[in-house]
Structure 1
Amino acid sequence: MAIPMPLAPPAPAPLPVSHDVTIVTTRKLAQARVMGVPPEEFGIERGARSIPDCNYCFHEVVTRTAAQLIAEGFDQEQIQSLNDYTGTTEIETLARDTVDEHFVFNSGGLNSAARLVRITEHYVRMDYEGNGRPSLYQVITGGEQCEILRKGGKECITPFDMMPFAATTPVPVTHRFFGRSIADLVMPLQREKTALKRGALDNLYLSNNPRVEVAESNAGPSTLDDLLVSRPGGVVRTKTPGGLNWQVVPDITTSIYPMLQYLDAELEMRTGLAKQTQGIDADALQNQSATAVAQVFSASQMRIKLIARIMAEGVRDIFSLLHGTIRKHGQQLQTVRLRNTWINIDPRGWKTRDDMTINVALGSGGKRGFENVARIIRR
């Protein structure tokens, strides 16, 4: 006969456990940035007149390390096979390097991830798909053989909407892309002034230490040695008293100083910066009427304003590119502070502005023109 066993009492339910949890939410916001490109890193097709209308331009990117490129998704084997960038072959880069920032040794042995490598971003219009309609593409290459790099297992050949570059020049050249800078206008005159000043100093040095004529009949065994040692109050021993004839160096500074003044006046005409406008010549405005002084200032400022308006055309292109970039890649609503007020901005609702032309304001005079330019930029 089976004897039933008594049932064990049920186990007590576990008590609830509480925890203090801190939740951190991170949001990454994309930013559109404007980066200045050195002239030796940018190139454009020969004969191009503007960047939006050209068929090809490129940018050599030399500021990224191997680790940064690999983190962006480029193929690790390709990046590691690229040579180090030292910048020792670019004349403009070396001329700009005044504190020896570039190295000539290979830094890969020290820290291979931190070494600089050079890649090239090409922007070319071509019929890549073979449909008879050329489109704009970005092609990224690297190495001496310009091998197309891979990102995520695919070749870096990406369709692009527009050239991501804007350029401007203070002195444009008609029907040419490359213009002239202020340095191009004043460098020839500066070289002439340097040559004239060097000639005046050489003339002064010869006047302070002239050459001497010594007849062999008047020269003793120690005369030449005494003349070769030039010191104040030195003694020159000769056989005959008065046997030395000091050469008189003609003074040419009387003709150099007027030429330097002429070059200064030519510099003022080329740049528009006169002594009167800079306030460095106290005698330039003496015995001048108020009307004459105002005309001098106005004529000088007109050239400066012209250069500012020409440069503003490049700023216009920059903001046009920024507008298109933010509108294309802005995928969420953002809250920004504008005029001390927090407002919501959604780039997805912006107008395309395909039918709008941005014009730089030409003020009637004074500060009004620059105020109009600033107002357009803020919009």
Structure 2
Amino acid sequence: MEGDKLDKFKISSSKRDEIVNKLQQDIDAANQYYGEEIEPKILKRYAIYHSDEDFYKKMFPKLSERCSIRSTDAQDTISSIMPSLMKIFFGSTDVITIQGRDGSDQQDDRAQTMQELINYQLDVNRFFMTFFQAAQDGLITGNGILKVDWVRQYDDKPQQITLNEAAFEQFAAQAKQQNWQIVNVMPNQAAGGIDIVYIAPVLTVNQPRIMNLLASEFRYEPDATDLNSIDFIAHRKIVTLDYLRKQQDNGLYENVDKLAEKAIEPEYTELDYQNNLDVDDEPDQEDTGRQKVELYECYVNINMTDDPDGELTPMIITVSNKIILRIEKNVYGRHPFFILSPRIDPHKIWPDSSFVDLIAQIQHTKTAILRQVIYNAALSNDSQKAINLSMLEDADDITKGRAFIRVNGDIDKAIKAFPVSPIQSWTFNLITYLDSEKENRTGITKYNQGLDSNTLNKTATGINIITQQANQRLELIARIFAETGLYDMFRYLIKMNQLFINEPTVIRLTSGPITIDPTDLDGEFDLVVNAGMGAGAKQTNLQNLQMLQGVITQLANVGMAGPQQFYNCAKRIIEEIGYKNVDDFIIQPQQMQQKQEQPQESLNESVKSDISQAPYQVQMQYWAKQGYQVNPQMFTEQAATDALRTAVNSAAKNIGGNNGRQGTLSATNPSRRVSQGAAPNISTAVGENPSTSATGIAGGAAGPNGNNAVQGTVNSL
């Protein structure tokens, strides 16, 4: 975690050397595997994607001498995919939805809070561009690599505190130990203490950081088949000594001075050079801070004990030139790397074929045919000539393109156009066939791209069917991205938020800022993937939703649907149109119910208070309309109970003794029981065989625990 001070892991020197040797073996094996197996495939795929001129010179040396035109099918297809793909992930609906695992309201509220927090963190990280680059890498090379870590940033800011003299002495000692700068000390007579102004580090950034890694920065053990069960994986970095020194000053690294003494130039890969031709520029020898070193941030399962059969411990070890700069336990529980791969090869991390490989043969063939067609057209329009030198005054008239050509004799015998074979009619049919084959392989058709000029001659239904079928391949890619890389990344972000957010955090939402307390993030959560579900043509989805709205209306007539179902349908329509802030347009049923209940409750209480003063015939009519079963005897009991309560209260006031007060409390606040179907507050309670006498009513009102109290009060009367 960048920004945190080094948590030193105490080990012996011999164990440190053993760890370094083991790590170096892992690094060497990973580098060799990358150089021999992975990088050649990546370089070739990038060359195909960019339709590299040198690549096709090697492939078609003779044709390249005549024409350099190249087909760009790979780049065109991926460029057509990206808009739809980004719309799926950054449209109106969350691709990954967080839900409470136990289904309780509290857990659902916390899941919603976590969802809003992660969405905010993605926005702060400008995740749209990061994901775009990783997804494009995935389509080109086979894997797009995302890395997530946590950043804490402290800035020195002035602060003020008021302490008494004893506490001030302790504070001064702490400030000296923490290197805080005390700016001003003034007596505070009003508070009876001392006002202290000091400058100390304040936590200003506490959030995840999401990066897109170049393939040359990613290393893992050669025999790994799955990222979830891997013993060695590393982030290879090229950094300057100045960067390492600053990190050491912040307490992140150690042994940087030792590294500077034996630092050597990094070994750059071919992909490094392709990404930046000037990557190996020699730094100023007098300025050692600009000197670069190769750094490996290793996430490794390693034996940290002296027992050769000891248990493997997940560790994070940063090493450069066989010098450990940082070593700590891996509290994350896993490595921070996540892969976006459109094509998955079982039991392989880096697939043998990428999306580009689907188009490669088509692009190669079209490049060769196009070069031949253009060369043939050039010969037809500016054909070669056969000349009789003996019949020319000067051959330079032709070679230098002079306006006048001097000929001795018949011009047809002196100069004659060389015959050129016409372009075969099947050539363009072959190009059309290749385009069709590309569409079959990738699933991206002209209808997806809006490039078919014959679309107007087709029926809307037919075009819609073709588009829906073509979208299935794209939806599958989106689903794989979401189920693998993004699913694991969201799970990782949830755990990091629970680990490292240890104080209230304010985030900005479209509806305004909200404060998130660390306790709001506790709990177990489930993730639901929404990508690839309903990601087809919007017009079709809107038509389906409108049809569903009619079904819900019919169900509402028989009580099988209500406000929540209408809200869900309207919400999906608004989201499908493209608006993400649904609450700007409609109100949730729960909020409407709360607004309606507040005045209704106050009205009901007012009515109940007024109706209790009315004659019992009026009360009976009122409670009957409310759905309660009532009879005259219930109101007789109420009248008797009220009479008893009045008598008890009056006696208690006159006597003023403890027994009287106790009896009054027991009689005025009896333990209430209301039978199902009985009108509330009509009678305090009704027994199975209530008596109309005062004593019987009091016993029924007080219940099993109230008889003695009421009876004592009655006796005192």
* Structure 2 length-normalised TM: 0.42
| Correspondent of 2:345 among 149, 158, 173 | 173
Distance in 1 (alpha carbons) for counterparts of 2:362 and 2:440: 12
How far does residue 254 in structure 1 lie from its aligned partner after superposition?
3.4
How far does residue 79 in structure 1 lie from its aligned partner after superposition?
4.1
Give the match for residue 226 of structure 1.
397
| Correspondent of 1:149 among 324, 331, 345 | 324
Distance in 1 (alpha carbons) for counterparts of 2:286 and 2:374: 50
Give the match for residue 3 of structure 1.
none
Distance in 2 (alpha carbons) for counterparts of 1:234 and 1:345: 91
Point out which structure has higher relative CO (alpha carbons under 8 A, 6+ apart). Answer: 2
Of the structure 1 ranges 71-80 and 306-315, higher mean CA displacement relative to structure 2 is found in 71-80
Are 2:313 and 1:135 equivalent residues in the alignment?
yes
Could you tell me whether the CA contact under 8 Å between 1:275 and 1:284 is conserved in 2?
no
Distance in 1 (alpha carbons) for counterparts of 2:504 and 2:188: 40
Secondary structure of 1:27 counterpart: strand
Q: 1:204 to 1:238 in 2, by over 3 A?
A: farther
Give the match for residue 529 of structure 2.
360
Could you tell me whether the CA contact under 8 Å between 1:124 and 1:138 is conserved in 2?
yes
Distance in 1 (alpha carbons) for counterparts of 2:431 and 2:416: 34
Q: 1:219 to 1:298 in 2, by over 3 A?
A: same
How far does residue 140 in structure 1 lie from its aligned partner after superposition?
2.0
Give the match for residue 383 of structure 2.
210
Distance in 1 (alpha carbons) for counterparts of 2:358 and 2:258: 45
How far does residue 311 in structure 1 lie from its aligned partner after superposition?
1.0
Give the match for residue 43 of structure 1.
219
Q: 1:244 to 1:282 in 2, by over 3 A?
A: closer
User: Quick check: which one's helix share is greater?
Assistant: 2
Give the match for residue 433 of structure 2.
262
How far does residue 191 in structure 1 lie from its aligned partner after superposition?
2.4
Give the match for residue 476 of structure 2.
306
Could you tell me whether the CA contact under 8 Å between 1:227 and 1:236 is conserved in 2?
no
How many residues in Structure 1 have an aligned counterpart in Structure 2? 336
Q: 1:45 to 1:347 in 2, by over 3 A?
A: farther
Could you tell me whether the CA contact under 8 Å between 1:44 and 1:58 is conserved in 2?
yes
Q: Which has the larger radius of gyration?
A: 2
How far does residue 183 in structure 1 lie from its aligned partner after superposition?
2.3
Are 2:240 and 1:68 equivalent residues in the alignment?
no
How far does residue 176 in structure 1 lie from its aligned partner after superposition?
1.8
Of the structure 1 ranges 272-281 and 105-114, higher mean CA displacement relative to structure 2 is found in 105-114
Task: Kindly report which structure 2 residues correspond to 1:252-331, keeping only aligned pairs within 5 A, or say none.
Answer: 252=423, 254-286=425-457, 288-313=458-483, 314-331=485-502
Q: 1:188 to 1:238 in 2, by over 3 A?
A: farther
Distance in 1 (alpha carbons) for counterparts of 2:436 and 2:377: 25
Q: 1:238 to 1:228 in 2, by over 3 A?
A: farther
| Correspondent of 2:357 among 167, 178, 184 | 184
How far does residue 289 in structure 1 lie from its aligned partner after superposition?
2.4
Could you tell me whether the CA contact under 8 Å between 1:326 and 1:347 is conserved in 2?
no
Of the structure 1 ranges 259-268 and 295-304, higher mean CA displacement relative to structure 2 is found in 259-268
Give the match for residue 12 of structure 1.
none
Could you tell me whether the CA contact under 8 Å between 2:506 and 2:513 is conserved in 1?
no
CA deviations on 1:290-346 (whole Å, 9 max, x unpaired) are 321210111111111111111112111111122222322333332334553523320
Secondary structure of 1:31 counterpart: strand
Q: 1:293 to 1:83 in 2, by over 3 A?
A: same
How far does residue 141 in structure 1 lie from its aligned partner after superposition?
2.1
Q: 1:238 to 1:312 in 2, by over 3 A?
A: farther
Task: Kindly report which structure 2 residues correspond to 1:35-114, keeping only aligned pairs within 5 A, or say none.
Answer: 35-62=211-238, 64-73=239-248, 74=253, 75-80=255-260, 81-84=262-265, 89-97=268-276, 102-109=278-285, 111-114=287-290
Distance in 1 (alpha carbons) for counterparts of 2:358 and 2:288: 44
| Correspondent of 1:196 among 369, 372, 376 | 369
Structure 2 unpaired stretches of 5+: 1-186, 542-571, 581-717
Could you tell me whether the CA contact under 8 Å between 2:392 and 2:414 is conserved in 1?
no
Distance in 2 (alpha carbons) for counterparts of 1:142 and 1:347: 40
2:256 aligned partner, one-letter code: Q
How far does residue 190 in structure 1 lie from its aligned partner after superposition?
1.9
2:242 aligned partner, one-letter code: A
How far does residue 165 in structure 1 lie from its aligned partner after superposition?
0.9
How far does residue 226 in structure 1 lie from its aligned partner after superposition?
3.4
How far does residue 39 in structure 1 lie from its aligned partner after superposition?
0.8
Give the match for residue 661 of structure 2.
none
Distance in 1 (alpha carbons) for counterparts of 2:195 and 2:505: 31
Secondary structure of 1:35 counterpart: strand
1:56 aligned partner, one-letter code: F
Give the match for residue 597 of structure 2.
none
Distance in 2 (alpha carbons) for counterparts of 1:364 and 1:20: 62
1:254 aligned partner, one-letter code: S
Distance in 2 (alpha carbons) for counterparts of 1:208 and 1:320: 64
Could you tell me whether the CA contact under 8 Å between 2:393 and 2:406 is conserved in 1?
no
Are 2:209 and 1:33 equivalent residues in the alignment?
yes
Could you tell me whether the CA contact under 8 Å between 2:272 and 2:279 is conserved in 1?
no
Could you tell me whether the CA contact under 8 Å between 1:276 and 1:285 is conserved in 2?
no
Give the match for residue 299 of structure 2.
123
Distance in 2 (alpha carbons) for counterparts of 1:238 and 1:175: 79
What is the alpha-carbon root mean square deviation over aligned residues? 3.4
Secondary structure of 1:117 counterpart: strand
Q: 1:243 to 1:303 in 2, by over 3 A?
A: same
CA deviations on 1:155-189 (whole Å, 9 max, x unpaired) are x3332231111112012123321134432322332
Secondary structure of 2:294 counterpart: strand
| Correspondent of 1:163 among 322, 335, 342 | 335
1:91 aligned partner, one-letter code: E
Secondary structure of 1:34 counterpart: strand
Distance in 2 (alpha carbons) for counterparts of 1:162 and 1:347: 24
